[in-house]
Amino acid sequence: MKINRRQLLNLTLFATTAIIIKNLQQNSNQDTLWANELKPQIYKSKNGLLEVELIAQETPVNIDGKTAYLLTYNGQIPAPRLEAIAGDKVKIKFTNKLAQPTNIHYHGLHISPTGNADNAFLEIQPNQTFNYEFTIPDNHPSMTAWYHPHLHGYTAQQLSGGLAGLFIIKGELDDIPEINSAKEEFIVLQDFPLDNNGRLTDSRMMSLMMGREGDVITVNGEIKPQISLNKGEWLRLRILNASTSRFYNLSLDDNPFYLIATDGGAIASPQEMTRLLLTPGQRAEIMIKGENKQSSLKLINLPYNRGGMGMMGNRMMGGGMMGRRNNNSSQILATINLNQSNQNNQSVSLPNQLNTITALPSPNQVRSFTLNHGMANGMAFLINGKSYNHQRIDTEVKLNTVEEWELINTGIMDHPFHIHVNSFQVISRNDIPENLLAWRDTVLVKRGERVKIRIRFDDFTGKTVYHCHILDHEDLGMMGNLQINSVGVNSE
C-alpha cells in the first residue's frame, strides 16, 4: 500500500502528538517527585520548644524546570527554615539517609559544642537517627544563623550538594517598629556543580584546591526569582552565603542599601553602602527602600577575584573549572519589582540606633594563626604549618577570657576564617583600625592580609573548631581544634 503525502502528514502529526502527550505525562509524574515544589517548610518554636524532624537524603529537585539530584534536608532546597527565640529549648530528631556519615553544625549559635548540641565531632552513620537537644541561652542575641553538615572530610561535598538551611533567632532587632514593619525576605545563596543529567559532578583536585564552585547559582533554590515591594516601603533582606566556596559581591546596581546586621546580629546603627561582599558562611541583613523613581531593582553579583593557584594552575586546568574561579562576569541574582501601592505610604526612615555593641577589652592572651597551603601527605591546607588532626588540640583557652588573634594569610588565595560557638569583633586589617564595630563569626582574610580579631569565650567549655569556610580547604586540612577550659583548669 502506498501512503500519500496527506496520510504521511497525518501519521507524523499523530506520532508527534503522542510523543508530546507522553512527555506531558512524564513531566507531570516528575512534578510529583519534585519535593521542593511544596511550600518551603518553616518550623517555629511554640511555648518555649522548637521540635523538628530532619531527614538528610538524596532527592530529585526541580531547578529551573530541570531535575537535579541534590542532597536535601526534608526534600527541600534550601532546607527548612527554623525559628526560635532566646530561652527556647530545641529538639531535632535527625535521620541520616545519605550514603555517607554526617552530622549537623549550628553555625552562629552560641550553644554548647559538646554532647547532643553543636558537636562537630559526632559521626552519624547512614540510617542512624540522632536526637539533638540544646537550649538557646536567655541572653542570646537575635540573628540570622544557619545549619549544615560538618563532618571533616565530607563537609564540602555535602554542603555543595545542598544541605543548608536558615536558623533564625528572633529578638531585639525584630522588635524595632521600623524594622518590624518592613517586608521581610530570606535569601539563601547556593551554587551547584551539575552535569547535563542533573547529577552533582565529582570535583577534581585542582578545583578542590581552589574550592569548588558550581555553575548553577540559585536563590532559595530558584534561578533569578522575583520579589515584589511597594513603593515607599522597606524591604528587609536576610542573606546567607551557603555556597561551599563562591564569594558573592553584591550590589543593587549602584543603588544604596543599608546594612543592619552582620553574622552575630544587629550592628549599632544602619550603614549605607552600595557593595556587600559575602564570603561562604557569612550572613548580612540589609534594608532596601522602594523608591518612587524606579520600577525595579536588580540584586547583582559582581566579579570578585579570590586569588588562585597561579600560572601553573591555570595551565593545568586549561581554563576548565579553574577558568571560572575569578567569577569574572556579573550575574543577576534576583529582581525586586516595585509596585505602586494604593495606600498612602508615608515612608518611615530607619532608626539611628539598632543595638548597643561594647568593644571587647584588651586581651588576656594574644595568638597568631598563619594560613597557607603546602605539603603534608600531598597537597594540604595549613594553619600554623599544620594540617588538621582530629586528635590534636591546637589551641587551649580559658572560659571568660578575652583573646586577640592575628590571622595572617601568607598564601595566594583568600580564606574566610570561621570560629564556632562565640562571635568575635574585627579590630584591624593590616593595622588599619576597623571602623564598623560588629559581631561576626566569619571574617575574610585576603591573600597577604593580617586581620586582628578579639573574642571572649563565654558560657561554654569543651572542644570545638575554627577553620577556613571555603569548605574544601577545611576538608583538606585548614582547621584546628579549640579547647575551651573552665577557669582554674590548667592543662597547659
Binding site for ligand C2O (CB under 6 A): 105, 107, 148, 150, 281, 418, 420, 465, 467, 469
Give the one entry of ligand C2O, Cu ion, none that residue 150 binds, where binding means its C-beta sits below a cut-off of 5 to 8 angstroms depending on kind.
ligand C2O
By C-beta, is 289 or 473 nearer to Cu ion?
A: 473
What amino acid occupies position 42? I
Nearest Cα neighbor of 348 from 473, 471, 182, 171 is: 182
Between 334 and 465, name the residue whose CB sits nearer to ligand C2O: 465
CA 428/CA 359 separation, integer angstroms: 13
Are 260 and 211 contacting, i.e. CB atoms less than 8 angstroms apart?
A: no
Site residues for Cu ion, 144-173, by CB under 5 A, read none
**How many Å apart are CA 53 and CA 431, to the nearest integer?**
47
Nearest to 246 by CA among 164, 147, 184: 164
Which one of the spans 251-259, 323-331, 359-367, 460-468 is the region binding Cu ion (CB under 5 A)?
Answer: 460-468
Name the burial class of residue 71, with classes exposed (0-12), middle (13-18) and buried (19+) by CB atoms within 10 angstroms of its CB.
buried
C-alpha grid cell, residue 363: 586581651
Which of 69, 121 has the CB closer to ligand C2O? 121
Do you find a cis peptide bond into 141, omega within 30 degrees of 0?
no
CB-nearer residue toward ligand C2O: 270 or 462: 462
Q: What, of ligand C2O, Cu ion, none, does residue 467 touch, CB below 5 to 8 Å by kind?
A: ligand C2O
Q: Name which of ligand C2O, Cu ion, none residue 398 binds, using a CB cut-off of 5 to 8 Å depending on partner kind.
A: none
Is residue 456 involved in binding Cu ion (CB under 5 A)?
Answer: no
Compare residues 325 and 467 and give the one whose CB is closer to ligand C2O.
467
Least separation in angstroms between CB 168 and ligand C2O? 16
By CB under 5 A, which span of 25-33, 106-114, 259-267, 318-326 interacts with Cu ion?
A: 106-114
In the DSSP assignment, the letter for residue 211 is: -
- Beta bridge mates, 278: 248
Residue with the closest Cβ to ligand C2O?
107
> Taking the complex as a whole, how short is the minimal distance between the CB of residue 466 and ligand C2O, in angstroms?
8
The neighbouring-strand residues paired with 444 are 416
Taking the C-alpha atoms of residue 392 and residue 481, their distance in angstroms, rounded to an integer, is 7
The answer to whether residue 246 forms part of the interface with Cu ion (CB under 5 A) is no
Shortest separation between residue 164's beta carbon and ligand C2O, angstroms: 9
Neighbours of 93 (CB within 10 A): 14
Return residues touching Cu ion (CB under 5 A).
107, 415, 420, 468, 470, 473
